[in-house]
Structure 1
Amino acid sequence: MLRDSPHGPYKMKYPPVHSNWQDEQEAVRKTAVIFDQSHHMTDVTLRGPDVTRLLSETGTNSFATYGRDKAKHLVVCNPDGLMIGTTVLFGMEKEEARLVGPAGAANWIQFQAETGGYDAEVTRDERTEDNDGSRELYRFEIGGPAAWDILEKVNGGPLPPVKFFTMTELTIAGHRVRGLFHTVIGTPGSDSKGMEIFGPSAEGPAVLDALLRAGDEFGLVRAGGLAYYTGSIETGYPAQPTPAIYSGESTKAYREWLPGDWYEGKLSIGGSYRSEDVEDYYVSPYDFGYGHLVRFDHDFIGRAALEAQADRPHRRKVWLIWDDDDVIRVHRSSLFGGAQRAKSLETPLGRYARVQADAVLVGDRLVGISTMCAYTVNFGHWFSVGFLDEADAVEGAEVTVLWGEEDGGTSKRNVESHVQTTIRARVRLSP
């Protein structure tokens, strides 16, 4: 079902571009860029005296310093230590938190809240495409070398000191807004600082207008979905894993609780990695680049399994820089190859499923998986985020990405008839 998902391409009220994707990609490195994130993510709010306990007993992350204005890239697993998903956790108040992002992780937490005896109320604000009303909050993300100058100008003065992945408050267009400091759209440690700001949706147009006006002198660029997603791949974001919930007794009750048309029912898997067993698509945090977010200072679902895995060999996250000549060959074949055409590389974002899983080979040996792939003017090449066996995750090593799906392509509506081909790539251990 997941490989041949009947659902069409992912829809959202998020323009692919506002000007052109090249300038929009480049702005985060040169000046500043702003994205409107008000539509494509689901917000789930938790309120009540047991909210922190619920999150701590569900998430792999440490909660030793969690509280108001703290945020986390929250990882949740099934009892076998396999990932269900990730979400951004916003610590709003002492007994209030928000989960923002793809809904897989939030759905699992809601299930625990409703079935685990927690004193916690759950309310949902679905992404715009699935929302019958208007969104509760606006969200804008601003980043780049000039981002902080723009924020201080629009705030009318310096911002309070703020640590990475913590929140602060500022004033924009007479409205109080909250902002989360992060570097999702810039390389960590670089000058590309970023902040995600949010507030009541009715105030969004005034806040956006003020930011755009303040940003004129600094070269602020308003960017669309293509620059947003390709920029996140630059920094190593592999999107979401296949939720480890489709099999096994430990998640049976959860499957029976889930509505059929939520995130898990609409999920699609694409790419050249093929298995008849859905469990072969499951990953642990250690094999998905999130081992640093697993902390054994508290009890949580999946802890025992993850403790047993901690000292084993794991796959390592890498960047795969694709060979330019092979990419040109694939483009030529996809356009002029007739019945033997290659799977198209839609520039600049080659994503055609919710979960992308392409086989990475050394000779005939499977050594890992390639996930989201893109071209950016900042890299100057096609590239992807991959996960390779430790022995093969070597700087500069040559590997092969198997591009396209088996047997002429699966029956996903956005997959054209094609034949598989190979693309050489070089391993990079950092962006």
Structure 2
Amino acid sequence: MIVVPNTAPASRGVRRPGEPALARGSERYPVDGGSLAVFRIRGGDTLRVVDVEGGQVAEVVGFVDGRGDPGLFGARAGQPAHGLQTMLAEPRRGSRLRERLAPYELAVEGARAIPLFAEGSRAGSVAELTASGDGLCVVAAAGEPMPVAGGMPPTDLVVYVERADPARAERETPELPAPLADPDQDFRVARATAQAYPVRAGQWIQIIDVAGRQCTDFQAFSTAHLDRGIERCLDVTTTRSLMARSSPQPGLAAKYYDVDFQPLVEIVQDTCARHDAFALACNPAYYEEAGYFGHANCSDNFNGQLDAYGVTARRGWMSMNFFYNTEFDDAHQLMLDEPWSRPGDYVLLRALTDLVCVSSACPDDIDPANGWNPTDIHVRVYDADLEARRSIAYRPRPDAEARMTKQTGFHGQTSQLTRDYVEHEGYWLPNSYPQHGAIAEYWACREKAAIIDLSALCKFEVMGPDAEALLQHTLTRNVRRVGVRQVAYSAMCWPDGGMIDDGTLFRLADNNFRWICGIEYCGEWLREQAEVGGFEVRIKSSRAQLHNVSVQGPAARDILREIVWTRPDQADMDELGLFRFAIARLGHERGRPMIVSRTGYTGELGYEVFCHPDDADEIWQAIRAAGAPHGLRPMGMEALDMLRIEAGLIAAGHEFCDRTDPYEAGIGFAVALKKNAEDFIGRAALEARRDRPRQRLVGLTLDGEEAAAHGDGVYIGRQQIGVVTSGTRSPTLARSIALARVAAEHAGPDTRVEVGKLDGQQKRLTATVVAMPHYDPERRRLKA
């Protein structure tokens, strides 16, 4: 092993959708903290293992013919793979990892590993290995669960493989994703062809883009209808109408219907999330009108395959066009461009009745529909006993590998109460609970108490002798004034003053902090600034180790008082002040560890409870049991959005973006220009912009009942002077309200404006500028 500077293959940038971001002959395999990656290796190939966040031990295990062989990378003996064995032995995590290894039939017990990196390795450290022969490689990012009070969580590795023979690698078909189970059917649809196949009710259909940027049309018929001579295929117009989406996605809006409103299939997993449900499958007329007579097309290919099932031929077939990238522009013209799909991207469907299905590998090579190069599609059909979680692809950066949506530690409890979830930063969060509904959930929070799963929040451990100095340099708040067990709300800005994100900073010890925010990029930004400034600090992602619920409402303190135990040196529930936290346990001194902070996002008295995901079930149940006599209800994101708008609390992508500074976003109080004599990123720009703001965030009250929506223009006469950032119907105020960013000249209270609907001119809602927040302007309830 050779430890070298960070010379991982340079990215060429994502210039085209679906195009490989790496140099020729290079491949990338991400390894999540506490997980593993498996891939094939050949003699002469070079591995570069990158410790992304620093301090993460890696174990590299080579296998030849299914048996461990550290000599595959030149090591004669290696060391026992303790980290890998420990992970596989854990009940919860181990079962998932064993499933991932099962298709390769590896003798993992007793395998020996080559360890890479030490606990003190710096972020971006790279270790290099060269393979002496052909085999399989397992790379594990081993680590123990992080204590809730902070520490060193297992974090990500990235493995780059530089092939010794790039030309051979390019000639070979990209390796397909591992089967989800033993397939009942497993076949390739060659480029420019189609294949029909039967599927039984309950079976699963996985449609895979083999090489990337390849469209595939899909159509399905009820077998029972065909047997009676009735042709009722998947109808995209009916599907769009019922699902209220351009194309279905995993979740409530997942089903595909025929013209009789009968569901045929539902989508359960999707790694691309960019498909077409408007245009027909390509057909003879399309190519004839373009001057390409006799061109192969999906409609004719469908006809040839469906003839054996007695289906009448059609000139052009309606279909679900997976991986086809279309949209309508502002002039309502249908546009198309290259697909976003990458090699191995797939959709997973579940058959809701016995079906005859047909899938194509689109032959279109006269426009960007298939990246100008039609390739193959692969189809697998699995038996009904497959267990597949609903998930969609999440990429924290455009060039990142896809990550499938995860469930929070509280999902086992919330899923018993709702199926209505929304995806947020790679996690499923409850949107509403149907036994109550968003309005009842809202009132529970305002009058009694509510519990909300907010585990998707990103968390970063910032540790080391320069932790305070780095945060002082990167946040707008005066971090040096934040004491141990205190919380500070702050913004993180670009040099020009635009906001990267907002969040809360927890000080766990003199040199230990936790930054909790909305986007994963914050951690990357902190590591970049630490490297540039030479700060001696470690920034480690801890979201996978820390999940959290928020308990909000007038009864929140009474509920938590019954179940939270704290040591004498920590504040109890009656002593815990606003923006303070305590390290606590559930029930007694040997109970589940957790942190309780007096923070929230509703404008009410409230707390957040942080714990390890393995403890989430027990903590949820304890809070629900203690809260039952107080009227506690579970609450989803729909009600939370109503509450935060009333309370004047901002949200990324609504009240701010990277072109909005904290003053324009309404959080100028989080910029410590007077109290903070030290420089911080964006300070000079903010000093210049503070006294000459271009825009201000204001409240609006609308005269009528109709609600304003994000993106609606705000007008005075013909002039647009701002934009609505968030809008809702306020149950408490019994009227429609909004937050809006308007020109500073028109931000004064009582200014009369109009909110433009439709094109902004044809329909207007009259409104008045008011001070924020709309609800409890003195924030007495929050401070109770």
TM-score (norm 1): 0.71
Structure 2 residue 532 is matched with structure 1 residue 140: no
Counterpart selection for 1:85 from 490, 493, 501: 501
Residue in structure 2 matched with residue 176 of structure 1 by the alignment = 593
Structure 2 residue 581 is matched with structure 1 residue 167: yes
Structure 1 pair 32–99 and aligned structure 2 pair: CA distance change class (3 A): same
Q: C-alpha offsets along residues 249-284 of structure 1, whole Å, 9 cap, x if unaligned?
A: xxxxxxxxxxxxxxxxxxxxxxxxxxxxxxxxx122
Separation in 1 of the partners of 2:744 and 2:554?
34
Residue in structure 2 matched with residue 336 of structure 1 by the alignment = none
Residue in structure 1 matched with residue 541 of structure 2 by the alignment = 124
Structure 2 residue 771 is matched with structure 1 residue 429: yes
Residue in structure 1 matched with residue 561 of structure 2 by the alignment = 152
Structure 1 pair 397–213 and aligned structure 2 pair: CA distance change class (3 A): same
Aligned counterparts, 1:216-365, within 5 A: 216-240=628-652, 243-244=657-658, 282-296=659-673, 297=676, 298-313=678-693, 315-327=695-707, 356-365=710-719
Structure 1 pair 372–80 and aligned structure 2 pair: CA distance change class (3 A): same
Structure 1 pair 420–27 and aligned structure 2 pair: CA distance change class (3 A): farther
Residue in structure 2 matched with residue 73 of structure 1 by the alignment = 489
Q: Is the 8 A contact 2:565 2:584 kept in 1?
A: no
Separation in 2 of the partners of 1:314 and 1:90?
32
Counterpart selection for 1:43 from 459, 484, 500: 459
Structure 1 pair 64–405 and aligned structure 2 pair: CA distance change class (3 A): farther
Deviation at residue 404 of structure 1 after TM alignment: 5.0
Q: C-alpha offsets along residues 360-380 of structure 1, whole Å, 9 cap, x if unaligned?
A: 111122322210222242232
Q: Is the 8 A contact 2:754 2:764 kept in 1?
A: yes
Aligned partner letter, 1:110: R
Deviation at residue 10 of structure 1 after TM alignment: 4.8
In structure 2, the residue corresponding to 1:285 is in which secondary structure? coil
Structure 2 residue 427 is matched with structure 1 residue 15: no
Aligned partner letter, 2:595: R
Separation in 2 of the partners of 1:76 and 1:360?
28
In structure 2, the residue corresponding to 1:64 is in which secondary structure? helix
Aligned residues: 341
Separation in 1 of the partners of 2:746 and 2:662?
19
Structure 1 pair 156–121 and aligned structure 2 pair: CA distance change class (3 A): closer
Separation in 2 of the partners of 1:214 and 1:160?
17
Deviation at residue 226 of structure 1 after TM alignment: 0.9
Deviation at residue 98 of structure 1 after TM alignment: 1.9
Aligned-CA RMSD value: 2.9
Separation in 2 of the partners of 1:287 and 1:100?
22
Structure 1 pair 50–210 and aligned structure 2 pair: CA distance change class (3 A): same
Structure 1 pair 317–141 and aligned structure 2 pair: CA distance change class (3 A): same
Separation in 1 of the partners of 2:690 and 2:635?
40
Q: Is the 8 A contact 2:697 2:739 kept in 1?
A: yes
Residue in structure 2 matched with residue 204 of structure 1 by the alignment = 616
Separation in 2 of the partners of 1:87 and 1:379?
28
Q: Is the 8 A contact 1:59 1:76 kept in 2?
A: yes
Structure 2 residue 432 is matched with structure 1 residue 52: no
Separation in 1 of the partners of 2:701 and 2:651?
18
Aligned partner letter, 2:430: P
Separation in 1 of the partners of 2:545 and 2:482?
24
Larger radius of gyration: 2
Structure 2 residue 451 is matched with structure 1 residue 34: yes
Separation in 1 of the partners of 2:733 and 2:499?
30
Separation in 1 of the partners of 2:423 and 2:751?
34
Aligned partner letter, 1:166: R
Deviation at residue 144 of structure 1 after TM alignment: 0.9
Aligned partner letter, 2:447: K
Q: Is the 8 A contact 2:711 2:723 kept in 1?
A: yes
Residue in structure 2 matched with residue 258 of structure 1 by the alignment = none
Q: C-alpha offsets along residues 175-204 of structure 1, whole Å, 9 cap, x if unaligned?
A: 232111135212xxxxx3111111222111
Separation in 2 of the partners of 1:425 and 1:111?
45
Structure 2 residue 746 is matched with structure 1 residue 392: yes
Q: Is the 8 A contact 1:287 1:316 kept in 2?
A: yes
Structure 1 pair 313–36 and aligned structure 2 pair: CA distance change class (3 A): closer
Separation in 2 of the partners of 1:10 and 1:405?
29
Answer with 289-298 or 371-380: which moved more. 371-380
Answer with 150-159 or 203-212: which moved more. 150-159
Q: C-alpha offsets along residues 127-150 of structure 1, whole Å, 9 cap, x if unaligned?
A: xxxxxxxx3112010111111111
Q: Is the 8 A contact 2:557 2:574 kept in 1?
A: no
Separation in 1 of the partners of 2:739 and 2:563?
36
Q: C-alpha offsets along residues 308-339 of structure 1, whole Å, 9 cap, x if unaligned?
A: 22322453332222333555xxxxxxxxxxxx
- Where structure 1 has 5 or more consecutive residues not aligned to the other structure, the ranges are 127-134, 187-191, 245-281, 328-344, 351-355, 407-418
Separation in 2 of the partners of 1:283 and 1:385?
15
Residue in structure 2 matched with residue 98 of structure 1 by the alignment = 514
In structure 2, the residue corresponding to 1:113 is in which secondary structure? helix
In structure 1, the residue corresponding to 2:663 is in which secondary structure? helix
Aligned partner letter, 1:113: A
In structure 2, the residue corresponding to 1:324 is in which secondary structure? coil
Aligned partner letter, 1:75: A
Deviation at residue 125 of structure 1 after TM alignment: 4.2
Q: Percent identity?
A: 26
Separation in 1 of the partners of 2:682 and 2:749?
33
Deviation at residue 25 of structure 1 after TM alignment: 0.7
Q: Is the 8 A contact 1:51 1:95 kept in 2?
A: yes
Aligned partner letter, 1:87: G
Answer with 116-125 or 143-152: which moved more. 116-125
TM-score (norm 2): 0.41
In structure 2, the residue corresponding to 1:212 is in which secondary structure? helix
In structure 1, the residue corresponding to 2:726 is in which secondary structure? strand
Q: Is the 8 A contact 1:393 1:429 kept in 2?
A: no
Q: Is the 8 A contact 1:403 1:422 kept in 2?
A: yes
Residue in structure 2 matched with residue 415 of structure 1 by the alignment = none
Deviation at residue 405 of structure 1 after TM alignment: 6.7
In structure 1, the residue corresponding to 2:753 is in which secondary structure? strand
- Where structure 2 has 5 or more consecutive residues not aligned to the other structure, the ranges are 1-16, 18-327, 330-336, 341-392, 395-421, 567-571, 775-784
Structure 2 residue 627 is matched with structure 1 residue 215: yes
Q: Is the 8 A contact 1:110 1:122 kept in 2?
A: yes
Residue in structure 2 matched with residue 272 of structure 1 by the alignment = none
Larger relative contact order, structure 1 or 2 (CA cutoff 8 Å, min sep 6) = 1
